[in-house]
Amino acid sequence: MLAILRKYLADLLLNVLPNHCIYCLSPSSKSICQICLAALPTLKIQCPRCAEPNHHGEICGHCISRPPSFDQVICPYVYSGPVVGLINKLKNQTFALGSDHITDTLIEQLKDHHFDLIIPVPYHWRRLIQREYNPVRELAIKVGKKINTPWLDGLIRSEFQTSQKNLNRKQRLSNLKGAFALASLTTSTHIKGKNILLIDDVVTTGATCHSAAQILKRAGAKSISVACLARTPV
C-alpha cells in the first residue's frame, strides 16, 4: 500500500516538477539521476554464450549439454530490483519515463558490433490484440536507427503458446516447438550468410530465442546474436 502511495506521489510530483529523478526525486536533467542509474543491477559475470549470470565467467552447463542455436547474448542488466519495474513500464507504454536509460545502455553495448539485419522476437496476433503493440518491435526499431542497421519483421509467431511463466527449461522448449516461422515476405536474400541481431526484452532460460534462432539458422543465417535489456538471475 505504501509503495503504491509513494509511486502515485512520485508520478504526481514528476508532472508538477519535471527534471527530477523518478526514484529519489532529487533534481536531475534526466528521468533517472546518475546515482540511481549506477545503482541498477548490471550484468557483470556471465556465461559467454547465453549470458546467464554466474561467478566464473565460463560457459554454463546448459550451453555445454544443449548448445543454443544463437551464438551470443548481449545484455546490460540483471532482471531484478528496479529493472523489473522499468521493463514493465516499457511493456505498457511506448515512451515510459526512465526506460530510455536502459535501452540507451543496451545500444551503447551494441555499438562495438556489426550486424547485417535486426529482427524482433514477434508476438502472436492474439497477444498483439491484447497488448495493442509489441514493445520488442519498438525496441528493435530504436536500436536499428541508433546503430544504422536495417530491421525487418522477419519472423512470425505461428503458434499461440500458453504463458511460459511457470514452466521449467524443458517444458518451455517443448511449449515452443513450431512457435516461429519465417514471415511470408522474408526471402533467403535477407537471411543467407547474414549476421543477424535478434531482439527480445528479457531472456529467461533462452528457450524463446533458441527457437527463433533455429528458424533463422535453418534459413542459412551465418550468426545469430541476441540483444535483450535484462537476463533473469539463476
Kindly list the residues in this chain that would bind Zn ion in the complex (CB under 5 A): 21, 23-24, 33, 36, 47, 49-50, 52, 60, 63
The minimum distance between CB 23 and Zn ion, in angstroms, equals 4
* Backbone torsions φ then ψ of 181, nearest 5 degrees: -150, 160
Q: Which is nearer to Zn ion, 49 or 190 (CB)?
A: 49
Please state the closest distance from residue 233 (CB atom) to Zn ion, in A.
13
Q: How far is the CB of 145 from Zn ion (least distance, A)?
A: 28
Q: What single-letter amino acid sits at 146? A: K
Q: Which of 116, 129, 135 lies closest to 191, judged by CA?
A: 116
Between 68 and 154, CB nearer to Zn ion: 68
The residue (of 51 and 118) whose beta carbon lies closer to Zn ion is: 51
Q: How far is the CB of 206 from Zn ion (least distance, A)?
A: 7
Smallest separation, CB 118 to Zn ion (Å) = 23
Q: Which residue type, as a one-letter code, is found at position 212? A: A
Could you tell me if residue 127 is left (phi over 0), alpha (psi between -120 and 50 degrees) or otherwise beta?
alpha
Pairing label, strands 155-157, 180-182: antiparallel
First to last CA, the chain: 29
Nearer to Zn ion, 55 or 114 (CB): 55
Tell the smallest beta-carbon distance from residue 231 to Zn ion (Å).
10
| DSSP H/E element including 72 | strand 72-74
By beta-carbon proximity to Zn ion, the closer residue of 69 and 128 is 69
Query: Which three cell numbers mark 195?
Result: 549476421
Considering the complex, state which of residue 24 and residue 107 has its C-beta at the smaller distance from Zn ion: 24
Which residue lies nearer to Zn ion by CB, 61 or 193?
Answer: 61
Q: Check: CB of residue 161 under 8 Å from CB of residue 179.
A: yes
Give me 43's grid cell.
550484468
Specify the DSSP class assigned to residue 116.
S
Shortest spacing between CB 167 and Zn ion, in angstroms: 19
> For residue 223, what is the DSSP state?
E
Report residue 226: phi and psi, to 5°.
-110, 135
